Every structure is written in structure tokens, then in C-alpha cells.
Amino acid sequence: MIPELGHFSLILSLFVALVLGLLGLAGGQTGRRDWLALTRPATQALWLLTALGYGCLTYAFYSNDFSVVYVVQHSNSHLPDIYRIAGVWGGHEGSLLLWHFMLTTWMLAVSLFSRQLPDTMVARVLGVLGLVAVGFLVFMLFTSNPFLRLADIPADGRDLNPLLQDPGLVFHPPMLYMGYVGLAIPFAFAIAALLNGRLDAAWARWSRPWATAAWIFLTLGIALGSWWAYYELGWGGWWFWDPVENASFLPWLVSAALIHSLAVTEKRGLFRNWTIVLAITAFSLSLLGTFLVRSGVLTSVHAFATDPRRGVFILIFLCVVVGGSLTLFAMRAGKVRSGGAFALVSRETFLLLNNVLLTTAAASVLLGTLYPLIVDSLNLGKLSVGPPYFNAVFVPIMVPVLLFMVVGTFARWKSDGALDLARKLGASALASLVLGCSLPLLAGPWSALAALGLSLALWIVLSSLQQIYRQVRSTTNWRATPWSFWGMHLAHIGIAVSVVGVTMVKGYETEKDVRMGLGDTVAVGGYTFRLTGIRETEGPNYRADVGDVELSRNGQILRLLHPEKRTYFSSAMPMTEAAIDTGLARDVYVSLGERLEGGEHPVWAVRVYYKPFVNWIWGGGLLMALGGAMATLDRRYRSKRARAATGVTVKGVAA
């Protein structure tokens, strides 16, 4: 009965979402109080129904209900409990249900934490989100139903993909989906503002904390995914420019531009059209990522579906969302009065330049991701676009982004002087250049790219510390400084920390692939690895060969590492579990490959790495997310008092 209850809850959810969408938009446009009063209760009912459906599927996994097709495909009675629960989103149908649950959770948050906003605006926002939910529910019920039953119930399931049997599955997909789906909120605010005809500072202020919150989750999700791939795949890489990795990186770049554009719209009433386009683009790219992962057009360790019919549905949905929103924007954009003027040297200019560069970087990644698919679909042959393209195109675009990011924080609104900016930035720029060019000599052979990366990172950190020092000195009560100030600089320092990690690991990592028998040693990065033994062990659903590798430096034993080579019972799929000794300034990494020779003197393929500062990549991501959280918690967004709008109203459209 549990699967039937879950299926019925999704059918009711579709009905409620459709009613919410129609009532929300109609009530928002007409102002009818009875319709407006229904939008929040309908949103809460939609969340409860979705939570019920999600709970039913989770119970089916936990109780090993192998009458459900999806449970058979992605679970097994020997699977540990934690992976039976996380296995709900380990495949296509369940991940789509998680997506919808995240969407309704965001909708619930809007209904609960937007009491200070006009009811008509909230109704429009919830109405737009309700129609988005309708699209996903139709897709789920008609092409990807997670509650389909089997007539002949098997004795056991096929097991969860061994790649996913890792703690990363518990944290990475929910975090990433919260970011993906959260971009629907600024999109809905943008559509609501277009429908309302008010593209003003009030709309930007309402939308900005939601956009920042989505960006925070997306940042954490991408960082967790990178870390998971790093230690789980056994290749020692932290980013592979995989098309599905790119699918999450694209909306991250555009949403970063969006939150900065919202700041200008809120403070100065400028960039209104630009901000609307970015909000639409960010959500559209999250839908595009859904299409890439679930359409079957990609072959990737991250991809879920292999049924192109599902991809066609998502593609149609994507065209409806993008086409409809851009059509509405085209109808409204020409009626918006231009905002105030700003000089060539001003904060507005540098923020605009950075936004253009971020969207250009996103376009370059999008081109490299889609071009091979387009060539293949036209039967023009197979083409692979890999790291050489992305490194050659993406990196040069990001260098000026880092430069303008610093200059923009020092420039004044409306107008500033080039000489004044040079005086304020000169000392930190010179110090950064000298240190950045000197530090690579301590790490190994001098490298121009390493010097460039370290100089930029140091400039960001020193300039942020300079502004913090000035703020503390010039304010009698520095504790009253807005949280957004501290959050901005913490996020910028986080970017610098990640740049240091990327620069150092790309410039100075070393690796060796070797044959090792018992007692053999190999030296990498000043560390010595000695294989002292290989033993067999069994886990709950796998058998493993476990290596005992002695790690030493300068003759002193530091610790014993235990890389594994696992074979899972249900799939006979071999998996590498790397062993990593982590430090603040480096990782020492060893993975066990295949047995090359047996007998009394077995020989194994072993891969060892020395990776300087690799953890700074993810540490920087954490700092970025913390900075974004501080900005979101700024007291301006926690005020319960509705503020008067200061922007403009579209001519000829009712407010």
C-alpha cells in the first residue's frame, strides 16, 4: 500500500500545483483577496503532499520493498542502511522526486518568510513556481514514475551503483539540488516583477537574499562533488571538465553575476533589464543541466538516464520556460525607463565588466560542452572537447574578473578618479606582485602561470584586509558594520584561497604509476611509500584487497595508509578506494590498481601523488559559502517592516 500512497500523493500534488499556479497568477494580477489568501495554504499543502510521496519512496528503500521497480534497480538487501536511504536519489526517478521536493521546500520557505512583501507579489512568485512544479510532476508521472510495481517480485535488488556507495552520496546531491532548484526563486521573482510592471529597487531587494542562498548551496554542492570525485575515483583529479560537471558550473557562474547585478539594481536602480536576463538565464541553465544529465545524450559517471524520450520532454519544457519568459521580457523591457548615469570610472562600471566577463566565461564553457553534441547530432563525426580547450579559453577570461573584482570594491558609486583608485590600490598591488613572483621559487621551478595566480590571489587578500582595516579605523562602532560587508570580503578571500589551491596543485603536483611488490618503495614529493603487505577483507556487500603502505619522510615513519581495491558481489564491478594523508599544505595520495603478477611474489599496479595545497580549493569554496551566508543574514533582509519602493513603474502596466 505504501507505493500506491506515494503515487496518489504525486497525483494530488499535480492538482494542487496547477491550482496554485493559476490562482497565484490570476490573484496577483487581479488583486482578488480570496484568491491571494489561498496561495500560501496551497503551497504548504503541496509541500506536505510531496513530503508524503518522498517519505513513501524512502520507506520502500529502507524496508527492501522489491515490488517497486526503482528499488530493485538501485538497492539490495545487503546495502548498508545509510545508502538505502541515500539510494532514493541514486537513480533518475528518485533524483527527480528529490528535485521536486527541493522545489516545494523553497516554495514553502517563500510562503513562510515573505510576510513583509505585498501579497500580490508573493502570489505571483508562488504562482510561477507552481507552474514550474506542474512541469516536473507531469514529467515524473508520465515518463519517470518512481512508484511503478512489478508483478513478479525478485528475491533481491540489483544493488546501488558502487560508485555511489560513498558518504559523498549523502551530502553532494541534496546540496547541489538545493542550489540548482533554488535558482527558480529569483527566476520567479523576475517573472513576477515583469508581470507586475515594477522593475525597481524593491524587487531586487526581495530577490537578492534568495539568489544568494541558491548560490551558497550551489557552491557547496560543486565543492563537495569535486572533493568526492577526487578521493573516490582514484585518479587524483579535482576537476575534469566533464559535461555534467560543467552543467552545474554554468549556473554557478551566471548566478554569481546575478547577485552582483541585483546589488546594483537594489542600491542604484541600474541594470534592471540585465538583472532580469541573468535571472532567466541562471534558471534556464539549471534546466539545461537537467536535460544533459537525464536525456541520454551524455555518457558520464554523473549521468542518470539513457532514455532519449525523457530528454525530449525536458527539452520541450526548457523551450517553454525560456521562450515564454524571454517573450514576456521582450514585451516589458522597452517600457522601462533608464536609471541614473554613472561615469566610466565607477563601481557600476567594474561590476558591469565583471558580469559581462562571467557570462562570457559561461558561454565559453557552454560552447565547449554542447558543440560535440551538436556535431554528433548532425552526423558530422565524433568530437571530444577536453581540458586543453577549457584551460585555454576559460582561464584568460577569469584573470580580468579577479582584477576587476578588487578594483570594483575600492571604486565609489557613480563616479571615481583613476588617480585616486591607483593611489588606494598601488601599495597592495606592488606587494602582491613582488610576493607572487617570489613565492614560486620556494615551491620548485619558477613558473609564470604560478606567479600570476599567486599574485592575483595575494592582491585579493591584501586588498580585502586593507578595506577591513579602513572600515575598523573609520567607524566608532565597527561591530555595527553590515554583515554584507564582512560577507563580501570573506567570499572574495575564499576565491583567493581557491585560486592558490588551483595554482599550486596545477603547477607543482607530482605523480608516479609504478609496479610494486612487497617491500618495494617509491619516492614522490619528498615522501617515501613502502608496500608492506596486501590482505583480503570483506565488507557488507563487497570483497576487498587492502594494501598496507608505510608513509615516511626523511627516514621517519609518519603513518600507515590503506588503499583498497573492492569488488562488489552484485555487479562484480571493481572500485578503487584511495588512501590519503591530508595536511594543511599538501595531500599525499596512494591508490591500488590491478594485480599484475600472482604467485609467491605478487606485484601490484600502484599510483602515488603529491598534491600541494589541493585542500585549499575546497577550503576556499567553504569560505565563499560562509561569506554568502553572512551577506544573506544582513539585517536589511531580516527586517519585518515592508519598505517603500524607490524604483520605477513600467508605463502602461498596472502596478
Tell me: pLDDT of 305 over 60.
no
Secondary structure class of 580 (helix, strand, coil): strand
Please provide the average confidence, as pLDDT, over all residues in the chain: 88
The most confident of 31-35, 130-134, 235-239, 628-632, by mean pLDDT: 130-134
Query: How large is the average pLDDT for residues 58-82?
Result: 93
pLDDT for res 443: 87
Residues in the chain: 655
Tell me: pLDDT of 639 over 90.
no
The most confident of 70-74, 115-119, 631-635, by mean pLDDT: 70-74
- pLDDT for 452-471, tens place per residue? 999 999 999 999 999 998 88
Residue-wise DSSP of 464-482:
HHHHHHHHHHH-TTGGGS-
Q: Are 651 and 335 in contact (CB under 8 A)?
A: yes
- pLDDT for 314-336, tens place per residue? 788 888 998 999 999 988 877 66
Tell me: pLDDT of 648 over 70.
no
Categorize the per-residue pLDDT at 375 as very low, low, confident or very high, splitting at 50, 70 and 90: confident
CA distances from residue 565 to 212, 402, 427, 510 in whole angstroms, order as listed? 41, 42, 53, 22
pLDDT for res 266: 87
Tell me: pLDDT of 339 over 80.
no
φ and ψ of 529, to 5 deg: -110, 130
pLDDT for res 295: 57
pLDDT above 90 coverage of the chain, percent: 62
pLDDT for res 234: 80
Query: What whole-number distance in Å separates Cα of residue 133 and Cα of residue 43?
Result: 11
Strands (E), 445-585: 510-517, 521-524, 527-538, 542-553, 556-561, 564-568, 574-577, 579-582
Categorize the per-residue pLDDT at 371 as very low, low, confident or very high, splitting at 50, 70 and 90: confident
Tell me: pLDDT of 637 over 70.
no
Q: Are 25 and 128 in contact (CB under 8 A)?
A: yes
pLDDT greater at residue 466 or residue 474: 466
pLDDT above 70 coverage of the chain, percent: 93
pLDDT for res 99: 93
Query: What whole-number distance in Å separates Cα of residue 463 and Cα of residue 447?
Result: 24
Question: Model-level pTM?
Answer: 0.92
Cell numbers found for residue 271: 541594470
Query: How large is the average pLDDT for residues 359-386?
Result: 84
pLDDT for res 642: 40
pLDDT greater at residue 374 or residue 510: 510
CA torsion sign for 144, 147, 149, 153 is positive
Tell me: pLDDT of 300 over 80.
no
Q: Are 123 and 28 in contact (CB under 8 A)?
A: yes
Tell me: pLDDT of 33 over 50.
yes
pLDDT for res 645: 41
The most confident of 415-429, 494-508, 534-548, by mean pLDDT: 494-508
The type of residue at 416 is D
Please provide the distance, in angstroms rounded to a whole number, between the alpha carbons at the two ends of the chain: 49
Three-point CA angle 108, 14, 54, nearest 5°:
60
Query: How large is the average pLDDT for residues 557-576?
Result: 89
CA distances from residue 647 to 196, 199, 272, 650 in whole angstroms, order as listed? 13, 7, 10, 10
pLDDT for res 236: 84
pLDDT greater at residue 233 or residue 303: 233
- pLDDT for 582-620, tens place per residue? 999 999 999 998 888 877 788 999 999 999 999 999 999
Q: Are 121 and 29 in contact (CB under 8 A)?
A: no
**Strands 510-517 and 603-612, sheet pairing:** antiparallel
Q: Are 628 and 219 in contact (CB under 8 A)?
A: yes
Categorize the per-residue pLDDT at 640 as very low, low, confident or very high, splitting at 50, 70 and 90: very low
What is Dmax (Cα atoms) for the chain? 88
Three-point CA angle 489, 493, 496, nearest 5°:
145
pLDDT greater at residue 373 or residue 631: 631
Cell numbers found for residue 65: 520493498
Tell me: pLDDT of 303 over 50.
no
pLDDT for res 601: 81
pLDDT greater at residue 116 or residue 53: 53
pLDDT for res 292: 75
- pLDDT for 391-430, tens place per residue? 999 999 999 999 999 999 999 988 888 898 999 999 999 9
Tell me: pLDDT of 382 over 80.
no
pLDDT greater at residue 293 or residue 490: 490
pLDDT greater at residue 187 or residue 343: 187
Tell me: pLDDT of 116 over 70.
yes
Tell me: pLDDT of 299 over 60.
no
